[in-house]
Amino acid sequence: MNKTINQKAWFFVLPVIALVAFNAIIPLMTVVNYSVQETFGDNTFFWAGVIWFEDILHSERFHDSLMRQLTFTFTILLIEIPLGVIIALAMPRKGFWVPVCLILMSLPLLIPWNVVGAMWNIFALPDIGMLGRMINSLGIDYNFTRQIGDAWFTLILMDVWHWTSLVVLLAYAGLVSIPDAYYQAAKIDGAGSWAIFRFIQLPKMKRVLTIAVLLRFMDSFNIYTEPFVLTGGGPGNSTTLLSIDLVKIALGQFDLGPAAAMSLIYFLVILLLSWVFYTLMMRDEEQ
């Protein structure tokens, strides 16, 4: 759509700017303020320059959390996006079952995050949980509170359970927007189901899928509550993702300087990666 140039449109945006600025800029300034100061706990602060940033960037602990975070995010993206597309393709397009499927699939999205964590905790407990019991009865020694591999398996399974539906909903919305005429044309051309997927469905879903990737990327990078309730970051530090580590430093040890510096670096990493996704998406749209 060609838009008219109108600077007065700023007035429409003002309420949003005021609200978000209050919520984003003031707290962000607080964080910046802490990140360059040192305190000895008596509420007096000294200028500290960039030492916290240097500390964080050189700290093994931060590198480990970041690596775990990246592993987690890319693993769940690799599972959830293809799985979501496959499920959306297999869903009925019309009839009685459509709303039933949609409602049931949306259920995990609307459960508070700590309930999701608690639910999976009691579901996967090796002695009294259904999943833990099932796996152990297959002869596999499974205990997510003790073994690192099991903890990761449970964490990723939980996230797949929790968020694949969002991908399904978005992909499905892309699919139902394809007019029937496209399929009829493909039929006349004698296209197989792979060709239909590759040349009709996938291009039509591209936009919603980029949104799905972007949303899943941002949210999984910020994930805190579910892993915290499920594993508490353990066993050891093996599932301590970035957010969990940050809250430990900020609210647990009350090391405000390092925590603030870490927040800013953390935020910048997300910002940078999201910006890459965003520009790729917008470039496609303009073509």
Which amino acid is located at 12 in the chain?
F
Q: Minimum Å distance from CB 54 to another protein?
A: 20
Per CB under 8 A, contacts with another protein among 179-238 are 193, 207-208, 211, 218, 221-222, 224-225, 229
Cβ within 8 Å of residue 269, ≥6 positions away = 66, 221
With respect to another protein, which residue has the nearer C-beta, 12 or 40? 12
Q: Minimum Å distance from CB 100 to another protein?
A: 9
Per CB under 8 A, contacts with another protein among 243-272 are 243-244, 246-247, 250-251, 256, 259, 263, 266-267, 270-271
**Choice from 37, 39, 238, 274 touching another protein (CB under 8 A):** 274
With respect to another protein, which residue has the nearer C-beta, 86 or 202? 86
Q: Minimum Å distance from CB 96 to another protein?
A: 12
Per CB under 8 A, contacts with another protein among 154-173 are 161, 164-165, 168-170, 172-173
With respect to another protein, which residue has the nearer C-beta, 51 or 273? 273
Per CB under 8 A, contacts with another protein among 100-159 are 101-115, 118-120, 122-123, 127-131, 133
Query: What is the distance, to the nearest Å, from the Cα of residue 2 to the centroid of all Cα atoms in its chain?
Result: 34
Q: Minimum Å distance from CB 63 to another protein?
A: 18
Q: Minimum Å distance from CB 220 to another protein?
A: 11
For helices 51-58 and 256-286, give the axis angle rounded to 10 degrees. Answer: 70
Q: Minimum Å distance from CB 64 to another protein?
A: 17
Site residue total, another protein (CB under 8 A): 96
Q: Minimum Å distance from CB 5 to another protein?
A: 5
> What is the signed CA dihedral for 256, 261, 262, 264, rounded to 10 degrees?
120
Per-residue b or e along 166-188, where b marks 16 or more CB atoms closer than 10 Å to that residue's CB:
bbbbbbbebbeebeeeeeeebee
Given the DSSP bridges, would you call strands 45-47 and 37-39 parallel, antiparallel or unpaired? antiparallel
Per CB under 8 A, contacts with another protein among 54-93 are 86-87, 89-92
Per CB under 8 A, contacts with another protein among 40-59 are none
Measured between its terminal Cα atoms, the distance across the chain in Å is 14
How far apart, in whole angstroms, are the C-alpha atoms of residue 56 and residue 69?
16
Per-residue b or e along 71-107, where b marks 16 or more CB atoms closer than 10 Å to that residue's CB:
ebbebbbebbbeebbebbbebeeeeeeeeeeeeebee
**Choice from 19, 50, 67, 78 touching another protein (CB under 8 A):** 19
Q: Report helix, strand or coil for 1.
A: coil
How far apart, in whole angstroms, are the C-alpha atoms of residue 39 and residue 267?
23
How far apart, in whole angstroms, are the C-alpha atoms of residue 229 and residue 198?
41
With respect to another protein, which residue has the nearer C-beta, 148 or 214? 214
